[in-house]
Amino acid sequence: DNPDEAEGFEFLQTYDKRASQECYLSVLSNWAYATNLTEENKQNLLERSLVYAEFQKEAWKNATSFAWKQFKNPSTRRLFKFLSILGTAALPTEKLKELNEISASMEDTYSTSKICPYSLQVVITDESENLDDDKSSSEEENCTLSLEPDITRILKKSQNYDELAYVWKAWRDSSGKKIRKRYERFVELSNDAARLNGFADMGEMWRESYESDTFLEDLENLWKQLLPLYENLHAYVRRKLISKYGNDKIRPDGPIPAHLLGNMWAQDWAGVQEFTEPYPGKPSLDVTPQMVEQNMTALDMFNISEEFFSSLGLKEMPPPFWEHSVIEKPTDREIVCHASAWDFCNGKDYRIKQCTDITMQDLITVHHEMGHIEYYLQYADQPSLFREGANPGFHEAVGDVLALSVSTPKHLKAISLLNEIADDPEGDINYLYSIALDKISFLPFGYLMDLWRWGIFSGNTSVEEMNTKWWELRLKYQGVCPPVKRTEEDFDPGAKYHIPGNTPYIRYFVSFVIQFQFHKALCEAAGHEGPLYKCDIYQSKEAGKLLSQVLQLGSSKPWTEAMKIMTGGKTNKMDAAPIIEYFDPLIQWLKEQNKNYTLGWTSNDPTICP
Ligand SMILES: O=C(CCC(O)(O)[C@H](Cc1ccccc1)NC(=O)c1ccccc1)N[C@@H](Cc1ccccc1)C(=O)O
Ligand SMILES: [Zn+2]
């Protein structure tokens, strides 16, 4: 047949080998910087990134010299299709250098941001009377609170309205506000790169990963189906917060002040479980106290997670994982604490970097990160261009699916993290409520993050109104408001890792929908009977086999085919029915609780709580 195709196939073999070597060197320098934020490591990373870009440009030139669209073999065609998108390496060297420099420096600003303790804040205002400034400088030394674990713990534990408002504002002043100018330039350079790849803007280039020309309307349809769940949870939690903080702080038909929900971005509301749960007095579902009491270590948490994966017959972590991973925050250097899972492209070296705190929330995150590693291991034999998730949402869903089983009271009891279970309808409602505070509360945030970013990349949102637009979306979708006035001097999106980290976010919204499709499919494969929320796939080799079949594909097939395999042919789409089925008993209960109250929220100024 077509000689070009045989030559093209040869080219891909040599490319694959070189790509894995270049990728290893690039990931290693990225790892060195992320785990030790020094100027030297930043310079090494920037140099290595330019070398990697040259290699990609060379490969792209060769690949696009083939008439690959006429190739007969679908896999060969797909490999060339992926190679034909060069990415930011398409930028002229000077612009690429500037883009990488801005990117590394925004990541550094975010990851090393510190704030002063609230108590100190009170003292400083008292100090302002006398101009004894040497004292204030000594106070500066105590301004060492970082996001993980310090500020995260305060937001979970404190129930002091003013302390929470102080911490909420101080974090934004020290992270987002500081990178606004750099982000504006970053957007320009990103769009230059996107246009050089034939896309209208970087948002369009990001959406390419979903290989669907109905992606935006599919997302909007999912949100329309999920909004009633969110509105009912929001109305119930708002009522509970009003009784706690007073109706002078929160209007019964207004948005919820964003700093009261136990999380810096109000993206999960697990922090309010204790004082809002439907049936108080039942055994707590937050096993953090037991973990601390048992002197559990980060390593124990990783072993618990790995054991769940191997109980399904999935792959265990290889030796380099245990040797090179960084699973605790170092005390002698600055690192990027935001968790991540790394593939060093050589089929052997895989690592997690996580500033693990001994909490249930972090046990769930360990499963999330290990899910990424499992996916890496499952598709390790694919060509390098297919060593990706079927779509980015698939990659985010793997660990979360297993965590849905781990979180069940039955499983927590089985691993001695829960002493007794309230195995009755009220206990079930409490359980569903605790999962809803993680999963349902997240949905609008998971959606709006890239609605905002796509708006910036496309120019629909001008750089002069970035923060105003952010709070309009935060009001419209999440029904939250800022406790202190926000202006265009601020840059609140920049206070969330994925903005300075330039990590797309719609993948998490997709994941939170499809992980329940996966859970339902794996529970059926495991022979589970009864309500979906009671399913625990632990030790089911059948469930493990089905999951492995899907994960081994990597991105070698469009994600719609992977979805068809997972659901046994039922669907090839994202489907909200399983998440709605999972939470149904809770939704009925919440509707009953809310029947004499207002659902939804209004406010005439998104930039300050009414
Ligand atoms: O950001 C994360 C977890 C980090 C990660 O595992 O998704 C990480 C983010 C990251 C870090 C550096 C560079 C790129 C992305 N993603 C990965 O490690 C990753 C991404 C793609 C493939 C393989 C691994 N979760 C999100 C959303 C989320 C997910 C699940 C539960 C709660 C919240 C958040 O915290 O807002
Ligand atoms: Zn992830």
Could you tell me whether strands 256-257 and 480-481 are parallel, antiparallel, or unpaired per DSSP bridges? Answer: parallel
Which secondary-structure segment (H or E) carries 352? strand 350-353
The pLDDT, as a whole number, for residue 280 is 95
Complex ipTM above 0.85?
yes
The pLDDT, as a whole number, for residue 36 is 98
How many Cβ atoms are within 10 Å of 307's Cβ, its own excluded? 12
446-to-375, 452, 509 alpha-carbon distances in Å: 22, 11, 5
* Residue owning tokens 């249930």: 360
Q: What is the DSSP letter of 417?
A: S
The pLDDT, as a whole number, for residue 142 is 87
The pLDDT, as a whole number, for residue 122 is 56
Long-range Cβ contacts of 278-283 (<8 Å, 24+ apart): 278/426, 278/429, 278/430, 278/433, 278/589, 278/593, 279/422, 279/426, 279/427, 279/429, 279/430, 282/422, 282/426, 282/427, 282/430, 283/418, 283/419, 283/420, 283/421, 283/422
Residue 528 annotated as catalytic: no
Q: Which of 369, 374, 388, 524 is catalytic?
A: 369
Indicate which residue's Cα is closest to atom 16 of ligand 1: 340
Ligand 1 centroid, distance to 31 Cα (angstroms):
16
Q: Which atom of ligand 1 is nearest to the CA of 375?
A: 23
Q: Which atom of ligand 1 is nearest to the CA of 392?
A: 21
The pLDDT, as a whole number, for residue 3 is 72
Does ligand 1 have an atom closer than 6 angstroms to the CB of 376?
A: no
Q: What is the pTM of this model?
A: 0.97
The pLDDT, as a whole number, for residue 132 is 41
Residue 188 annotated as catalytic: no
Counting as low any pLDDT under 70, the low residues of the chain are 1-2, 120-140
What residues pair up with 236 in beta bridges, in sequence order? none
How many Cβ atoms are within 10 Å of 94's Cβ, its own excluded? 8
How many Cβ atoms are within 10 Å of 595's Cβ, its own excluded? 8
